[in-house]
Amino acid sequence: MSKLGNIPVQAKSEKKRTNPLARVFDELIQFCQSRSMFMLHYCTGCGAIELPPAMTSRFDMERLGIQPMVTPRQADILLVTGYVSVKTLKRVILTYEQMQSPKYVIGICSCTVNGGMYWQSYATAKVLNEYLPVDVYIAGCMPRPEAVIMGLRRLMSNIENGKGNAWKDYYERYDYYLGNQQHLFGDDWQTPVDVIGEAKFYDLEGEETYGEHTRTLEQHQEPLEAAVMRVKL
Amino acid sequence: MASFNSISELLAQLLFMPMLAFLLGLVMVLMYRKIAARLQRRIGPPFFQPVYDIVKLYSKDTQISHGLIHDIGIVVAVGGYVAAVILLPVPGMDGIADKGGIITLSYFLMIPSLGMALGVGQCANPNGSIGISRALTAMLAYDIPFIIVVFGVALHYQSTSLVGMIDYQQAHQWGIFEMPLLAAAGLFALQGMMGKHPFEIYVAPAEIATGPMVEMSGKFMGGLFVMQSFQFYVASVLYTSLFLGGGANWFEFLLKIFFVVEIPMSISFLFPRYRTEDMVRIMWKWPVMLALIGIAFVI
Ligand code: SF4
Probe residue for ligand 1, chosen from A41, A141, A144 as the CB with the greatest number of ligand atoms within 8 Å: A141
Residue A115 Cβ < 6 Å to ligand 1:
no
**Is this complex scored with an ipTM above 0.85?**
no
**Nearest by Cα to A185 from A107, A120, A89:** A89
- How would you classify the pairing of strands A124-125 and A84-85? antiparallel
pLDDT at A1: 42
Helix B218-243 / helix B68-85 crossing angle, nearest 10 deg: 20
Q: Rounded to an integer, what distance in angstroms lies between the CA atom of residue B209 and that of residue B224?
A: 15
Residues B29-53 have pLDDT tens digits of 999 989 988 888 888 888 888 999 9
Host domain of residue B148: 2-298
- Interface-testing mutation among A27, A28, A35, with chain B (most B C-beta atoms within 10 A): A35
Residue A66's φ and ψ, nearest 5 degrees, are -100, 125
Residues B57-66 have pLDDT tens digits of 888 888 777 7
Q: Rounded to an integer, what distance in angstroms lies between the CA atom of residue B191 and that of residue B200?
A: 9
Q: Which residues on chain B are in Cβ contact (under 8 Å) with A74?
A: 210, 213, 216-217, 221
What's the gap in Å between A142 CA and the centre of ligand 1? 5
Q: Rounded to an integer, what distance in angstroms lies between the CA atom of residue A14 and that of residue A9?
A: 14
pLDDT at B2: 57
What's the gap in Å between B236 CA and the centre of ligand 1? 48
- How would you classify the pairing of strands A7-9 and A37-42? unpaired
pLDDT at B86: 85
Q: Rounded to an integer, what distance in angstroms lies between the CA atom of residue A42 and that of residue A88?
A: 10
Q: Which residues on chain B are in Cβ contact (under 8 Å) with A101?
A: 60-62
Could you identify the atom of ligand 1 that is nearest to the CA of residue A44? 5
**Nearest by Cα to A170 from A160, A155, A180, A157:** A180
Average pLDDT over residues B98-114: 83
Element holding A66 (H helix, E strand): strand A66-68
A221 touches B: beta carbon within 8 Å: no
pLDDT at A15: 57
Which ranges constitute the DSSP H helices of B40-125? 49-58, 68-85, 102-108, 111-123
Are the C-beta atoms of residues A152 and A37 closer than 8 Å to each other?
Answer: yes
pTM value is 0.85
Q: In this complex, which of A57, A65, A76 lies closest to B49 when CB atoms are compared? A: A65
Average pLDDT over residues B121-140: 83
Q: Rounded to an integer, what distance in angstroms lies between the CA atom of residue B245 and that of residue B174?
A: 5
Whether the predicted pLDDT of A120 surpasses 60: yes
Q: In this complex, which of B42, B52, B61 lies closest to A60 when CB atoms are compared? A: B42
Confidence of residue B27 (pLDDT cuts 50, 70, 90): very high
- Interface-testing mutation among A73, A76, A167, with chain B (most B C-beta atoms within 10 A): A73
Whether the predicted pLDDT of B194 surpasses 60: yes
What's the gap in Å between A64 CA and the centre of ligand 1? 26
CA trace torsion B278, B271, B222, B26 (10° rounding): 130
Query: Is A63's CB within 8 Å of B43's CB?
Result: yes
Q: Which residues on chain A are in Cβ contact (under 8 Å) with B43?
A: 60, 62-63
Q: Which residues contact B244 (CB under 8 A, 6 or more apart)?
A: B169, B174, B175, B176, B256, B260
Q: Which residues on chain A are in Cβ contact (under 8 Å) with B37?
A: 60, 62
Query: Is A63's CB within 8 Å of B42's CB?
Result: yes
Probe residue for ligand 1, chosen from A138, A142, A148 as the CB with the greatest number of ligand atoms within 8 Å: A142
Q: Rounded to an integer, what distance in angstroms lies between the CA atom of residue A196 and that of residue A217?
A: 11
Interface of A with B in 85-124 (CB under 8 A): 100-102
Q: Rounded to an integer, what distance in angstroms lies between the CA atom of residue A133 and that of residue A176?
A: 11
Average pLDDT over residues B55-75: 83
What's the gap in Å between B83 CA and the centre of ligand 1? 53
> How many residues in total does chain A contain?
233
Nearest-neighbour CA in chain B from A186: distance (Å) = 29
What's the gap in Å between A143 CA and the centre of ligand 1? 9
Q: What fold is seen in the domain A20-163?
A: Rossmann fold (3.40.50)
Residues B133-176 have pLDDT tens digits of 888 888 888 888 988 888 888 888 888 888 878 877 877 788 77
CA angle B207, A189, A230 (to 5 degrees): 45
